[in-house]
Amino acid sequence: MNKPPVSISLSSYGADLVRQRGQGSFIELLAAAGATHIEWREELLTTEAPAQLAQATQAEGLQSVYSSPMELWLAGQSKPNPELVSALQRAQVFGAKWLKVSLGYFTDNSDLQTLARMLIASPLQLLVENDQTLQGGRIEPFQRFFDEVERHSLTIKMTFDIGNWHWQDQSAASAARLLGRYVGYVHCKAVTRRADGKLVAIPPAASDQQQWEHLLRHMAQGVLRAAEYPLQGDDLLQLTTEHVAALAQLGQSQRDSAHV
């Protein structure tokens, strides 16, 4: 039985290391660790040559997700962020099949017909993520957005970031129940509050993985999932291999029971 696809967000290795080594240096590592996808991080790019990365990624049998920090909807604007067109073009040069952005300031006045026209010119799948902001990190705007996406028959999917719901005190379980059918990509992230009160991402404990298992039941079987938490240690290959295997296992018990 095929295992679900697993991606690694390169931010997991720490901004300093990734900028120092360059994102292309992780391609062979991810392939050797059993990952199926690599998530390029626009905010961590330095001197990378996109076409070379696309070629090297393809040679290793990896598929690419391109993550941009841009917001799809800007405050006070009904038209989508004009930067979307160039972001789609950049992602395509990287060989990506998916572009991940944040929701931003979606309102009832947001113009999805213009969004549809911007997307029709690109072969990429748009993924819209819940981030940590007030405007883009709550359940209700996503419900309204995907209602409109369905009404306009757009092929947009959601990136469901499990950990980010904490920043706006939202329930990940409620979010999964209400939004799970729209999800095309899952960012797995455990979160803790430091002594200074700041929320930070951490590697998962067994209890986190159990929670993720429950959340994935509301989503398509075999949905693409990614590590987006610290992967830092002396042996990055062994560490990455272990986490890829653990993430691939999520949802398998549900799948196996369906085949009994």
pLDDT tens-place string over residues 12-63: 999 999 999 999 999 999 999 999 999 999 999 999 999 999 999 999 999 9
Contact (Cβ atoms closer than 8 angstroms) between residue 110 and residue 147: no
What whole-number distance in Å separates Cα of residue 71 and Cα of residue 55? 28
What whole-number distance in Å separates Cα of residue 227 and Cα of residue 236? 13
CA 3 to chain CA mean position, Å: 19
pLDDT tens-place string over residues 127-177: 999 999 999 999 999 999 999 999 999 999 999 999 999 999 999 999 999
Give all strands (DSSP E) within the chain, no chain letters.
6-9, 37-41, 63-73, 96-104, 125-129, 157-161, 183-188, 190-193, 199-202, 224-227
All structural domains of the chain, each given as residue ranges with its CATH number in brackets, are 6-258 (3.20.20.150)
pTM for the model stands at 0.95
Tokens matching residue 132 = 């940590």
Residue 92, phi-psi category: left (phi > 0), alpha (psi -120 to 50), beta (remainder):
alpha
